[in-house]
Amino acid sequence: AAIKTYQFDVQVANVSRLCHAKPIVTVNGMFPGPTIYVTEGDRVQINVTNHAQYNMSIHWHGLKQYRNGWADGPAYITQCPIQTGNSYLYDFNVTGQRGTLWWHAHILWLRATVYGSIVIKPQQGTPFPFPQPEREEVILLGEWWNADVETVVKQGNMLGLPPNQSDAHTINGKPGPLFPCSEKHTFAMEVERGKTYLLRIINSALNDELFFGIADHDLTVVEIDAVYTKPFTTSAILIAPGQTTNVLVQANEIPGRYFMSAKPFIDVPLAVDNKTATAIFQYKGIPTTILPKLPQLPANNDSSFALGYNRKLKSLNSPKFPANVPKNVDRHLFYTIGLGMNPCPNCVNGTRLTASLNNISFVMPETALLQSHYFKNKGVFTTDFPDKPPTPFNYTGAPLTANLRTSIGTRISKIKFNSTVELVLQDTNLLTVESHPFHLHGYNFFVVGTGIGNFDQKKDPARYNLVDPPERNTVGVPTGGWTAIRFRADNPGVWFLHCHLELHTGWGLKTAFVVEDGPGKDQTILPPPKDLPKC
């Protein structure tokens, strides 16, 4: 094992896209930011220095940070933000994980421009459980706004209205040649006929689940969220914000130029789809003047493709990479995903949209939860988050008013060390028609079941996949449906659970688990680092 060190200078840089130049917050002046390359078993030290006029914190999405929530990053959950002029060293071990993950700012909407990839190579002598690719390429899917992010945030948060949709989706920060002034801002990947390539695809978009595909080329899914899967072949993948997907692609077509593209999936047909990002899958030696061909991606509202695709995802579950699914459950949690209205003195109508779990909309504390827990400071949060909704109702059929009795609070749930937890996330009768990608920090979990309608405690568990369910860190809860996940609470700390649509996170669709220390000396939260930022 080695120590890999990085210096991240958070600084403003001028970037231009779609004929608009504007200052954006970056790491080291790069958009997207630098890739972190590590080998499984390495220790990583990333010194983040904040030169920007915004408070900053960075999250290493999907890294488990065993006993080490201090390095996890979500502002006000595991740390106070790094203030302008200050630095903080994120110091952590990468153990028991290999594959593609990513990092992003975890404060306000700054992850719109502050994000990058994490590539974890398997340990030396441990080959991939699939054919060795000729080369690999990171594909970061994102969004671009012509307006400055603050304007967009204000629209989402203050007026109680959805923000402007972004002006383009992007592939490695580039919208591609279908947008104005974007010929230069097109990502191209050169391939040779007969060779196989590994794409490490990451959805870092703020608010859109995406389809991704390459014209005339099938994709073989081999890994999701840094966990190997049973390989399967598909014409397109579906990927929610926060998720990663590794695919193999064979350059076995007539040498030419093919578009790869990413476009949103949402359960209502969009009036105009003007946001599809494109990049070029370019066979070697083919002149760049030839017009590429567009892939046939599923329609924007193709929820049956989405359902079918997600059903194909299974853990590899090999002797070397077993799926250790908890067979018994110590703690059953059932959280409804709701939407309500709450008073908002500064808002246009005096109210604003509020999103909730079990009718509780989470209020960010003014100091970090992990410190408060570790140092036993009272009055920052309460551990009375209910295991079930206060009043059960017909979640997917009842009128919206059942959702409107929303209360607010910094309420979280306390979990016993090493207990097995099942969490059923139940969507309710919402105005928004999109699936909610839920992300749990500090853990991977198994997606043991999912379905449409109300979760049925009698029938549905009998149909769970407890053998080879997908293991991941972010999972979509389908519109008008539910998803059940299981994990063993063996990582002590305070761990954020939230919808990875930034709009919904901002509305309060989040809470946290405080997992208690275990009895062993090596089962407790590590002491905090000396340079831990203060609020």
Residues lying near ligand C2O in the complex (CB under 6 A) are found at: 59, 61, 74, 104, 106, 242, 439, 441, 496, 498, 500
Closer CB to ligand C2O, residue 205 or residue 279? 205
Helix (H) or strand (E) holding 230: strand 227-234
Closer CB to ligand C2O, residue 205 or residue 249? 205
Q: How far is the CB of 500 from ligand C2O (least distance, A)?
A: 6
Closer CB to ligand C2O, residue 207 or residue 276? 207
In 58-214, which residue ranges form alpha helices assigned H by DSSP? 149-157
Contact 263, 210 (CB under 8 A): yes
Q: How far is the CB of 137 from ligand C2O (least distance, A)?
A: 22
Q: How far is the CB of 412 from ligand C2O (least distance, A)?
A: 14
Cβ neighbours of residue 509 closer than 8 Å, sequence gap 6 or more: 337, 355, 356, 357, 361, 362, 436, 498, 499, 501
**Letter for the amino acid at 153?**
V
Query: Between the CA atoms of 22, 25, 26 and 27, what dihedral angle is there, to the nearest 10 degrees?
Result: 160
Q: How far is the CB of 506 from ligand C2O (least distance, A)?
A: 12
Closest C-alpha among 511, 513, 509, 508 to residue 494: 513
Q: What span, in angstroms and rounded, lies between the C-alpha atoms of 221 and 206?
A: 23
Closer CB to ligand C2O, residue 107 or residue 306? 107
Q: How far is the CB of 139 from ligand C2O (least distance, A)?
A: 17
Contact 469, 444 (CB under 8 A): no
Burial 41-61 (b: 16+ CB within 10 A, else e): bbebebebbbebebbbbbbbb
Chain Cα centroid distance, residue 366:
24
Q: How far is the CB of 111 from ligand C2O (least distance, A)?
A: 7
Contact 444, 472 (CB under 8 A): yes
Q: What span, in angstroms and rounded, lies between the C-alpha atoms of 99 and 122?
A: 7
Q: What span, in angstroms and rounded, lies between the C-alpha atoms of 51 and 186?
A: 29
Closer CB to ligand C2O, residue 256 or residue 365? 365
Closer CB to ligand C2O, residue 44 or residue 249? 44
Cis ω for the linkage preceding 32 (within 30 of 0): yes
Q: How far is the CB of 273 from ligand C2O (least distance, A)?
A: 26
Closer CB to ligand C2O, residue 186 or residue 356? 356
Q: How far is the CB of 33 from ligand C2O (least distance, A)?
A: 14
Q: How far is the CB of 464 from ligand C2O (least distance, A)?
A: 26
Determine the 3-state secondary structure of 238 from DSSP: strand
Closest C-alpha among 89, 3, 88 to residue 38: 3
Closer CB to ligand C2O, residue 104 or residue 352? 104
Residue closest to ligand C2O (Cβ): 61
**Letter for the amino acid at 512?**
A
Q: How far is the CB of 112 from ligand C2O (least distance, A)?
A: 13
Contact 164, 143 (CB under 8 A): no
Q: What span, in angstroms and rounded, lies between the C-alpha atoms of 483 and 452?
A: 9
* Phi, psi torsion values for 447, nearest 5 degrees: -90, 95
Closer CB to ligand C2O, residue 17 or residue 498? 498
Closer CB to ligand C2O, residue 79 or residue 303? 79
